[in-house]
Amino acid sequence: MSDIWIKTQNGSPLARIRIGPGGLQYLYKQNGQHLGTYNPQTNTTHYSNGGVYCIGNALAALIDI
């Protein structure tokens, strides 16, 4: 798995996207809390509870700043 870090303007880590098998992308806060998942096969973003948030990749929108 590879990670992509999302950082604030001053460079502090805010969240990370972990890319898993099949291209699934998992969004985690810096403290490890799972916020959501993007499935490229269905082109949908899901909340951490599995509910659909939207069509397309909107993981960054799930970060509560």
Mean pLDDT of 34-47: 98
Number of domains in the chain: 1
| Domain coverage including residue 51 | 2-62
The one-letter code for the residue type at 48 is: S
Q: How many CB atoms lie within 10 A of CB 17?
A: 20
* Unique residue bearing structure tokens 């898993």: 20
The confidence score (pLDDT) of residue 2 equals 82
Q: How many CB atoms lie within 10 A of CB 55?
A: 10
Is residue 36 over pLDDT 70?
A: yes
C-alpha 41/C-alpha 22 separation (Å) is: 8
C-alpha 57/C-alpha 65 separation (Å) is: 18
62: its two tokens? 């799930």
